[in-house]
Structure 1
Amino acid sequence: MGRMNLSLYLVTDDKYFVGRDLVDTIEKALQGGVTALQYRFKNKSTRQMYEELLVLRELTRRYGADLVVNDRVDLAMAVGADGVHVGKEDLPPDVVRKIVGESMYIGYSVNSVEDLREVNHLPIDYIGFGSVYETTTKENYKLVGIEGLRQAVKLTSKPVVAIGGITSYRMKEVLQTGVKGVAVVSAILGFEDVEKAARTLAQIYKSTVKEKFLMP
């Protein structure tokens, strides 16, 4: 299992790829500075997902970025992904660990501080925590807020990746909670120029993290 590279973590979503080339769009985001890609689609056949993932596996390798597959442990194994991401409705993390061994890392979605306490002992390598802000990507989501995020970071020694409604102007506030990474969907895919959107976020990340280490 390699080192996780989750600082700028792009999650895909069906609605942002209508009339848009998947590989071309992802490549531009990677050029802009995305460090990890989570492949997450709900309306595609297994065969189509497998074929797309093979191409994205090559692409993420070329840019030195991680490839994470949402939910589908079989597809993650089939293409040699770096990680697999699961949540409450998916296979339990201990079962996923039995299947993947140490070949990849496991991420887990958590929507509250209470849930975090319950899953802290599970064999997971990072925690996706949110929704930090209001979001249009998911219909039924729980809002944890920036305060909830701050508590989550304090409660666990596992790396926390913040998700939910994070935009360029909220990025600094999110990073100051001590999260290891920021996961976004619309903050990159919601723009026509995805490379520019990704570059903006990557620059904010770098300058904020640098600032944090320079602080007395």
Structure 2
Amino acid sequence: MKGRMNLSIYLVTDDRYFQDRDLVDTIEKAIQGGVTAVQYRFKNKSTRQMYEELLVLRELTKRYGVDLVVNDRVDLALAVEADGVHVGETDLPPDVVRKLVGDKMYIGYSVNSLEKLREVEHLPIDYIGFGSVYETTTKENYKLVGIEALKQAVKMTSKPVIAIGGITHYRVPEVLATGVKGIAVVSAILGFEDVKKAAESLLQACRQAMRQKLFMG
């Protein structure tokens, strides 16, 4: 697998938050605030537009030493030499994705139940997105798994688990206490006008939670 994987504060983009906002400027400010990885996820853009935006974001993320992950589109991930690609149940199967990307990038996979987690444990994936941990407004058809299931998920798999769904800065301590390797967020950063400040507040919450964990032993 290519390079490191730092998904501790993992920003996922969403169409609704970029209606009247500059994509690159917003992402740059979020990175300056503490985001360690960016997942490019858009549903309503042409392939050409996504490719052109990804080329710019690839340069930006390289400059800051931040990971760039492409959602669904393995072709675009390869075209811009992204760090990772993220797929789910309705996308190309992970073993097919692995054949296409080889060891050039890491593969993430979304699951929304402990049963599904058991089924994907053997797949050639490098991290698992697990959620929705809390109620969320970002996705319409989502399944709520809850914090207890997240705790079990971390214990059940040897793969890094990334928590997603309704995570806000004040929920960070509870989420990190489960042993996850990162938190994936959308509205916790993009839902604010000042995305840099929102990212800083998440980073601060993560640092405090980790200090607390070390203190508690």
TM-score range normalised by the length of the shorter chain: over 0.9
Letter in 1 for 2:58: R
Residue aligned with 2:143, SS: coil
| % same residue | 80
Q: Name the counterpart of 1:39.
A: 40
* Pair 1:110-2:111 in alignment: yes
* Pair 1:181-2:186 in alignment: no
CA distance in 2, matches of 1:185, 1:96: 25
C-alpha deviations, 1:144-177, integer Å up to 9, x for none?
0000100000000100000000011111100000
* Pair 1:13-2:9 in alignment: no
Letter in 2 for 1:91: L
- TM-score, normalised on structure 1? 0.99
Q: Name the counterpart of 1:165.
A: 166
Q: Name the counterpart of 1:81.
A: 82
CA distance in 2, matches of 1:132, 1:24: 29
CA RMSD of aligned residues (A): 0.7
- State the shift of 1:213 in Å: 2.8
Letter in 1 for 2:163: A
Worse overlay, 8-17 or 203-212: 203-212
CA distance in 2, matches of 1:59, 1:206: 25
User: Following superposition, which runs of at least 4 residues in structure 1 exceed 3 angstroms of deviation?
Assistant: none
Matches for 1:12-161 after TM superposition, within 5 Å? 12-161=13-162
- State the shift of 1:63 in Å: 1.1
- TM-score, normalised on structure 2? 0.98
Worse overlay, 201-210 or 32-41: 201-210
Q: Name the counterpart of 1:210.
A: 211
- State the shift of 1:214 in Å: 3.5
Matches for 1:191-202 after TM superposition, within 5 Å? 191-202=192-203
Residue aligned with 1:147, SS: helix
C-alpha deviations, 1:7-31, integer Å up to 9, x for none?
0000000000011000000000000
Residue aligned with 2:210, SS: helix
CA distance in 1, matches of 2:120, 2:164: 18
CA distance in 1, matches of 2:81, 2:214: 35
2:170 touches 2:205 (CA, 8 Å); kept in 1? no
